[in-house]
């Protein structure tokens, strides 16, 4: 059963002046437990598609269904609440809060979800252990390497126990060792916990790990290949 599906998804920028089709009639579905990558050249629509799947952008037309919820029909306030409880995000730029420690960054979303202090402490410790950073939970982002900051971002994305993780170019700013370590962690979470990951990437190191490659060009799906 699909956890995410799209039907005729179109996103047009500058619709009234010089229309640019960032996504053009995309119909896709993703099953629970997938480790998939949306790939293609710069400007092909990868990030836009990921943002649409995550409810960060509104499509010009078409439908997005997540776990039987048509998110394209939700009001803005409903969509914010839905994202909070169902979708985890990992961004290229990490997007950590600089004045907060690794622990505080991870538990921030749990504050919004009204978890108790003991629940937050237990969950954060478990997550930072899973990404190999339990000994650095009190460090601020400026005291962590890029790879460590991105691992904090992964832990933060998992904190809300989302239905899936959307990762937009998560390895773009990382060296080979950090990329390998990060992908090992994500792959382990995918295999052991059946966590669904959908990447947007042009990084061959991510593509080599993916079990499905969805290729875009000019906003359209030009190939959809399952691997292994």
Domains of the chain: 2-97+162-226 (3.40.50.300)
- CB burial of residue 15 (10 Å; 0-12, 13-18, 19+): exposed
| 185-223 pLDDT, tens digit each | 999 999 988 999 999 999 999 999 999 999 999 999 999
Q: Give me 179's structure tokens.
A: 């990329």
Q: What would the mean pLDDT of 102-118 be, rounded to a whole number?
A: 89
Angle between helices 146-159 and 176-193 (to 10 degrees): 20
Question: pTM for the full model?
Answer: 0.92
Q: Give me 48's structure tokens.
A: 């836009």
Backbone angles phi, psi at 28, to 5 degrees: -140, 160
Pairwise CA distance, residues 197 & 210, whole Å: 9
Q: Name the one residue in this structure whose structure tokens are 């998992």.
A: 158
What's the confidence (pLDDT) of residue 220?
Answer: 96
What's the confidence (pLDDT) of residue 93?
Answer: 82
Q: Are 3 and 30 in contact (CB under 8 A)?
A: yes
Residue 103 has pLDDT above 80, yes or no: yes
């Amino acid at each position: 059963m699909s956890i995410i599906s799209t039907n005729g998804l179109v996103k047009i920028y500058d619709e009234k002046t010089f229309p640019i089709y960032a996504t053009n009639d995309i119909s896709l579905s993703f099953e629970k437990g997938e480790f998939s990558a949306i790939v293609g050249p710069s400007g092909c629509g990868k990030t836009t598609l990921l943002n649409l799947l995550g409810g960060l952008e509104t499509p010009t037309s078409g439908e997005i269904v997540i776990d039987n919820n048509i998110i394209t029909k939700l009001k803005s306030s409903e969509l914010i609440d839905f994202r909070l409880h169902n979708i985890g995000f990992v961004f290229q730029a990490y997007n950590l809060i600089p004045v907060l420690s690794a622990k505080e960054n991870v538990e921030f979303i749990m504050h919004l979800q009204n978890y108790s202090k003991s629940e937050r402490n237990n969950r954060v410790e478990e997550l930072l252990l899973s990404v190999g950073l339990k000994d650095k939970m009190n460090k601020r982002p400026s005291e962590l390497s890029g790879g460590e900051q991105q691992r904090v971002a992964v832990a933060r994305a998992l904190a809300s126990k989302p239905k899936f993780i959307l990762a937009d170019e998560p390895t773009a700013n990382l060296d080979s060792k950090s990329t390998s370590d990060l992908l090992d962690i994500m792959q382990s979470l995918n295999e052991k916990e059946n966590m669904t990951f959908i990447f947007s990437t042009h990084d061959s190191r991510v593509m080599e790990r993916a079990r499905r490659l969805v290729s875009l060009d000019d906003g359209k799906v030009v190939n959809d290949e399952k691997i292994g």
